[in-house]
Chains A and B, each alone.
Chain A
Amino acid sequence: MADMTLDARGLQCPMPVVKAKRAIDSLQPGQILEILATDPGSKADFAAWSRSTGNELVSATESGGVFRYEVRKKG
Chain B
Amino acid sequence: MGDPNKVTIIACSGDLDKAYPILILASTAAASGKEVTIFFSFWGLFILKKNDGKLIGKDWMTKMLSFIHRGGSDRLKLSQYRMGGMGTWMMNQVFRKNKVAKLSELLDMCRELGVRMIPCQMTMDAFGMTMNDLVEGVEQPVGAATAIEYASESGINWFI
On whether the two chains bind one another, the answer is yes
Neighbour of B33 across the interface among A10, A13, A22, A52, CB < 8 A:
A52
A21 contact set on B, CB distance < 8 A:
30-32, 113
Contact B99 A14 (CB under 8 A): no
B109 contact set on A, CB distance < 8 A:
14, 18
Q: How many contacts between A and B, using CB within 8 angstroms?
A: 39
In the assembled complex, how far is the CB of residue A8 from the closest CB belonging to chain B, in whole angstroms?
10
Neighbour of B32 across the interface among A10, A13, A22, A52, CB < 8 A:
A52
Contact B98 A12 (CB under 8 A): yes
Tell me what chain A mostly uses at the interface: helix, strand, loop, or mixed. Answer: helix
Contact A18 B33 (CB under 8 A): no
| Complex CA–CA separation, A10 to B99 (angstroms) | 7
Interface residues in B, total, Cβ within 8 A: 16
A2 contact set on B, CB distance < 8 A:
none
B32 contact set on A, CB distance < 8 A:
17, 21, 48-49, 52-53
Contact B33 A15 (CB under 8 A): no
Verify if A58 is at the interface (C-beta below 8 Å from B): no
- Cβ-closest chain A residue relative to B98: A12
- Cβ-closest chain A residue relative to B32: A52
Contact A14 B28 (CB under 8 A): yes
Verify if A27 is at the interface (C-beta below 8 Å from B): no
B residues neighboring A (CB under 8 Å): 24, 27-28, 30-34, 98-101, 106, 109, 112-113
A residues neighboring B (CB under 8 Å): 10-15, 17-18, 20-22, 48-49, 52-54
